[in-house]
Structure 1
Amino acid sequence: MFSLRSIAAALVIIVTISSSGLASATEVTALASSRMVVLTGFTRARATLDLVAEEAGRIDSVKAEIGDTIGQDGIFARIDDTFIRLDLDNNRVQQADLRSRIDFNKKEAERYRELVAKNTAAQSTLDSMEQTLDASRFELNALTVQERILLERLERTRIKAPAQWKIITREVEPGQWVNTGQIVGKAGDFSTLLVPFALAPEQYVALRRSTAPLTLNMPELGISIPARVERVNPGFDPDTRKIAIDLTVSKGLDELRGGLRTILTLEMPEATGAVLLPKAAIEERYEDHWVTRDNGERIRVVLLGNHSGPDGSLLRVTGDGLQPGDKFRLMGKE
């Protein structure tokens, strides 16, 4: 038979084990509290280009209106090239004349070489003819260079834009006179859209550390689209204290255009150092709120608000020494 003392000792052991299991089952770990920062940006062309007249003259035709896509030939407008073509024709006539004279002078020079070899003609006459022949060759070379210049000017009467870009502005009409260097329009590359943002340093760090797929919400369209970081400006604006970044989007939109509002949401650490705890971990006494650590230490806390977590409603609380990862007892009731 067992003595009363041994039975009492066994009961103490059972109660101790049960109490230990109950404590471990009623503990909760504090989670880091975060806040959502919402930034707004607007889409724009990935690149833009001013369309500039490289020749002075009268506009002969304009091939694209605002919003039109530039064709494969890349031509936006043409400048009247009548006088350049006339100069080119004149140049080619002069070249033909010089080639004829060079051929004649070459024959004459060859004939005089034979005469000089027979001592029937003066050497000075031959030297004069060869000098004239060399001068004609140099003149022909100059006309050839002039022809290339005229051909280049003829090509530049076509005001061009990159193929498949869209016209943003048109500042010229047929018959209008334009000067060299005058801007006559602007084209943009809308095959990929750019969304610029200016981020505070802590926002930039949060963006880089995020492991979730980067997406932009488009409230007017009611959709979210994937995005990626195109470039980050390595400089820093001391006035705004912001870092400039550009995101690009090219999929998920029926129309690629500028001016579409996008929302970038970043999850940031709570600036107050608050943590997330369930309501059952917080005890209210005389309008004060308390939490109890797993070692029994009680800490007074301040409630900052609700936070709907994945496991139910959580509360944002702050207090002396509270850190994410700390363990607390579930003292209250849901």
Structure 2
Amino acid sequence: MLWRAKIFWSAAVCLAAFLAAGPALAEPSQGPVFTARPALQVQTLTGFTRERARLRLVSEVSGRCLKVLYDVGDTVGPRGVFAVLDDTFVALELEANQVEQERLASRVAYLSKETGRYRALVQKHSEAPSKLDRLEDELSQARLALTALKTQRKVLTERLVRHTIKAPAGWKVIERLVEPGQWVNVGAAVAQLGDFRTLVVPLALDPRQYEILRKAPRPLMVFLPDQGAALPAAVSRLSPAFDPVTRKLALELELNKGLQEHRGGLRAEFKLSAPDPSGAVLLPAAAVQERYQEHWLTRENGQQVRVVLLGSGPEGALRVSSPQVKPGQRFLAPGQK
């Protein structure tokens, strides 16, 4: 009987150990889990840099050009003087104006005294009032003439100032149209200037591209292949008009930081990333199983989902598509349970 009891207790211990180990064997293997990411469609827009603004510098007076301070490619200095015209005749007119003002001032002083004397005589009934009226009229006309001369002096002074043609400081000369000794007429262009301190890249976007740009994270990045640099950019101008021919919107991106060279004609590339309209997702190659020329994904609950392989994606991932697969869903590697 003793040996039967030993056999019974040994069997009971083995059964308990088996039952205890049973659930552990039934647990699924803990392998990698992959999350589907949305596949992005990247569109590259190409443009070329140009100046932020352009100015046609014109002369407001006529005269012979005495000197030009800047040539093509030069940057206008802080004083802003671009060219100087001959102002000899204006200066002579100012001198003549000053002499005439002094003459009229003397005339006004004399008539003021004469009017005062005749006013006293009229009050004493020693002179006729008509002569006083005539003197007062002459005094009034002399004062008006003096005022007109002062106004004329202001006009001549302003004209004298405008014989110095000024340009915005910091702008660059694109085209020089005048030389020393040349006669310049009123309204004639003397130079073309551009503000290259800030560069802009003009682009044309369709409405869908514009919506992607509007929702894109800031700052926007523009790549300059000639300089091998990616620079931050901002939208500077957006035309509210819609081109019915191209069906696009005119937009300008502004660049003013990190530029090695401030000039036009630099090639600029701007990339727009948007979710693939086909609904494709990105998954590592380890998550995709191929069987009989078909491709499958395995959900965490073991369900198999057939997908269409669209091609390769970034970082070795695969682009797959299926109505049952959405971004954010999780999948197992083939063979996991």
Q: TM-score, normalised by structure 1?
A: 0.87
Counterpart residue type for residue 325 of structure 1? G
Give 1:151's aligned amino acid.
T
Aligned residue number for residue 42 of structure 2: 36
Question: Partners of 1:196 and 1:185 in 2: how far apart?
Answer: 24
Question: Kindly, what percent of the aligned residue pairs are identical?
Answer: 47
Shift of 1:245: 3.1
Structure 1 residues 127, 107: closer, same or farther in 2, change over 3 A? Answer: same
The residue identity in structure 2 corresponding to 1:307 is G
Deviations 1:18-48 (A, max 9, x none): 12xx2x6343221111132222222222222
In the alignment, is residue 279 of structure 1 matched against residue 285 of structure 2? yes
Which one-letter code corresponds to 1:13 in the other structure?
P
SS at match of 1:299: strand
TM-score, reference length from structure 2: 0.87
CA distance, structure 1, for counterparts of residue 111 and residue 33 of structure 2: 110
Aligned ranges 1:1-150 → 2 under 5 Å:
1=9, 2=12, 10=20, 12-16=22-26, 18-19=27-28, 22=29, 25-150=31-156
- What secondary structure does 1:184 align onto? strand
What displacement does 1:151 show? 1.3
Task: Return the alpha-carbon distance in structure 2 between the equivalents of residues 49 and 99 of structure 1.
Answer: 45
Q: Find the aligned partners of 1:36 and 1:47 in 2 and give their Cα distance.
A: 31
Alpha-carbon contact 1:281-1:332 (below 8 Å) kept: no
Q: Does 1:257 align with 2:263?
A: yes
CA distance in 1, matches of 2:34, 2:292: 24
Aligned partner of 1:277: which letter? L
Partner of 2:250: 244
Deviations 1:239-286, CA, capped at 9 Å, x for gaps: 333333333223323332222222222322213211011112222122
Give unmatched runs, 5+ long, in structure 2: 1-8
Structure 1, unaligned runs of 5 or more: none
Aligned match of 2:319:
316
Distance 2:210 2:246 in 1: 14
Q: Which moved more, 1:133-142 or 1:185-194?
A: 185-194
For the 8 Å contact 2:31–2:333, the answer to whether it is kept is no
Instruction: Kindly indicate whether the alpha-carbon contact (under 8 Å) linking 1:61 and 1:79 is maintained by their aligned counterparts in 2.
Output: yes
AA of the residue aligned to 1:98? L
Alpha-carbon shift at residue 146 of structure 1 (Å): 1.3
2:161 match: 155
- The Cα of 1:175 is off from its aligned counterpart by 2.6
Contact 1:53 1:180 (C-alpha < 8 Å) held by counterparts? yes
SS of residue in 1 equivalent to 2:198 = strand
Stretch of structure 1 that moved more, 153-162 or 260-269: 260-269
Q: Distance in 2 between matches of 1:52 and 1:321?
A: 68
Corresponding residue of 2:333? 330
- What is the alpha-carbon distance in structure 2 between the residues aligned to residue 332 and residue 163 of structure 1? 72
2:211 corresponds to: 205
- Residue 256 of structure 1 aligns with an amino acid whose one-letter code is H
Tell me if the contact between 1:282 and 1:332 (Cα under 8 Å) persists in the aligned partners.
Answer: no
Deviates more, 1:170-179 or 1:97-106: 170-179
Shift of 1:122: 0.7
Q: 1:217 Cα deviation (Å)?
A: 1.9
Residue identity opposite 2:204 in structure 1:
A
- Number of matched pairs: 326
Amino acid at match of 1:181: G
- Counterpart position of 2:4: none
RMSD of aligned alpha carbons = 2.5
Higher alpha-carbon Rg: 2
1:181 counterpart residue number:
187
Q: Residue 324 of structure 2 aligns to which amino acid in structure 1?
A: G
1:11 Cα deviation after fit: 5.4
Q: Is the 8 A contact 1:71 1:164 kept in 2?
A: yes
Per-residue deviation, 1:319: 1.9
Larger displacement relative to structure 2 (216-225 or 137-146): 216-225
